[in-house]
């Protein structure tokens, strides 16, 4: 090929090279050991002197200008590659970080902690007990003997080994008084189980907070004052409560405490079974038989005990109309707390 046409073709190809690899291939093609320009230079020795001088000069000029072109293009391509890499790996160090999704405390845990805080401020200690109980602690020691119909008040899950899933937190009253002498003030938050049909206000697994205060002179009016103070601090405002006479084998007298339904404002809704009131706790003065079961003389001691349904407390605080929402793990519900 004519050396000038060769130069033109090579220059065009060099200009169009997209990357260093392609440029390298072109270098080999024209200026490599067997490259086309190299071949021309090698063939010079076979030419007559005059022609050799003429073509030799031209071929060397072409070689030099192609070499310059290659160098220039290589520099450009290197710069381009660095720029592309910088663009790809660019990090904006001033951009705000991506926040990891963090969880938060379940509403029932928040209620439990708030309850503990309030009672601790009133001088109560927080105590725990086992979820798997013996019949003795769950029933007998609480004045509910084996064949007594009062056992039917709690539908119980019995285990094959003769134990049971505790149906209330009251057995911890016994466990604590066996080991600790009065005067005493405790609360016992914990999970309990009942073999019940579920509905908007009943679960088979839920939480209670037991309370127990024993001293020489403790009366039902002390109980009322303490529980009213608790509700006031818990809800951040006074709430309407009512005490109804009731029956528990381990208290005498016994009462049930309702609060005016905060979901509907007392008008009546599915949460309060259309009554305007929600039963929130059972309570009463500790029965002499309970003191006897733990070796205390009922003539020397008086006390009150109560069991609050923690789920119902949470329902009233957050105006939740179905207890089952606490346990179904739906994030759309949980993220609201």
| CB nearer to ligand FA5: pick between 186 and 305 | 305
- Tell me how far apart the terminal alpha carbons of the chain are, to the nearest angstrom: 83
CA-to-CA distance for 23 and 77, rounded, in angstroms?
9
Work out which of 138, 208, 271, 302 binds ligand FA5, going by CB under 6 A: 208
Are 186 and 126 contacting, i.e. CB atoms less than 8 angstroms apart? Answer: yes
Work out which of 151, 166, 175, 194 binds ligand FA5, going by CB under 6 A: 194
| CB nearer to ligand FA5: pick between 36 and 215 | 215
Q: Which stretch binds ligand FA5 (CB under 6 A): 44-52, 144-152, 179-187, 194-202?
A: 194-202
CA-to-CA distance for 185 and 222, rounded, in angstroms?
12
Interface with ligand FA5 in residues 74-113 (CB under 6 A): none
Work out which of 196, 215, 229, 322 binds ligand FA5, going by CB under 6 A: 196
Interface with ligand FA5 in residues 264-283 (CB under 6 A): 279-283
Work out which of 107, 129, 189, 284 binds ligand FA5, going by CB under 6 A: 284
Under rule CB under 6 A, how many of the chain's residues touch ligand FA5? 25
Burial of 181 from C-beta contacts in 10 A (0-12 / 13-18 / 19+): exposed
Q: Least separation, in Å, of the C-beta of 335 and ligand FA5?
A: 23
Residue in this structure with the two tokens 């391509």, named with its chain if needed: 77
Site track for ligand FA5 across 145-184, x = CB under 6 A: -----------------------x-x--------------
Distances (CA, A) of 182 to 126, 217, 225, 301, 307: 15, 11, 21, 8, 19
Peptide linkage before 157 cis (omega within 30 of 0) = no
CA-to-CA distance for 302 and 221, rounded, in angstroms?
13
| CB nearer to ligand FA5: pick between 17 and 258 | 258
Which pair of structure tokens corresponds to residue 43? 């063939």
The residues binding ligand FA5 (CB under 6 A) are 168, 170, 194, 196, 202-203, 206, 208, 210, 248, 251, 254, 279-284, 305-307, 309, 311-312, 323
């Amino acid at each position: 090929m004519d050396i000038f046409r060769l130069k033109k073709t090579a220059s065009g190809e060099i200009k169009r090279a997209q990357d260093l690899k392609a440029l390298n291939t072109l270098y080999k093609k024209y200026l490599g050991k067997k490259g086309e320009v190299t071949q021309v230079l090698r063939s010079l020795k076979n030419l007559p002197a005059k022609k050799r001088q003429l073509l030799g000069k031209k071929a060397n000029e072409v070689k030099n200008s192609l070499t310059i072109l290659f160098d220039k293009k290589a520099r450009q391509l290197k710069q381009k590659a660095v720029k592309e890499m910088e663009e790809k790996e660019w990090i904006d160090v001033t951009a705000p970080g991506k926040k990891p999704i963090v969880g938060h405390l379940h509403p029932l845990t928040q209620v439990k902690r708030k309850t503990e805080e309030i009672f601790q401020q009133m001088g109560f200690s927080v105590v725990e007990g086992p979820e798997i109980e013996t019949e003795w602690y769950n029933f007998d020691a609480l004045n509910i003997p084996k064949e007594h119909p009062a056992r039917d008040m709690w539908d119980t899950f019995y285990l094959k080994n003769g134990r049971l899933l505790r149906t209330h937190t009251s057995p911890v009253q016994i466990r604590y008084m066996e080991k600790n002498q009065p005067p005493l003030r405790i609360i016992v938050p914990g999970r309990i189980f009942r073999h019940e049909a579920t509905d908007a206000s009943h679960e088979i697994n839920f939480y209670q907070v037991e309370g127990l205060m024993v001293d020489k002179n403790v009366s039902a009016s002390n109980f009322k004052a303490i529980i009213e103070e608790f509700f006031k601090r818990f809800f951040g405002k006074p709430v309407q409560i009512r005490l109804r006479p009731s029956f528990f084998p381990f208290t005498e007298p016994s009462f049930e405490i309702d609060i005016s339904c905060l979901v509907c404002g007392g008008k009546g809704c599915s949460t309060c079974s259309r009554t305007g009131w929600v039963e929130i706790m059972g309570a009463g003065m500790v029965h002499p038989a309970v003191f006897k079961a733990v070796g205390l003389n009922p003539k020397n001691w008086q006390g009150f005990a109560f069991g609050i349904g923690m789920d119902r407390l949470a329902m009233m605080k957050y105006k939740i109309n179905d207890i089952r929402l606490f346990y179904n793990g739906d994030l759309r519900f949980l993220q609201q707390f």
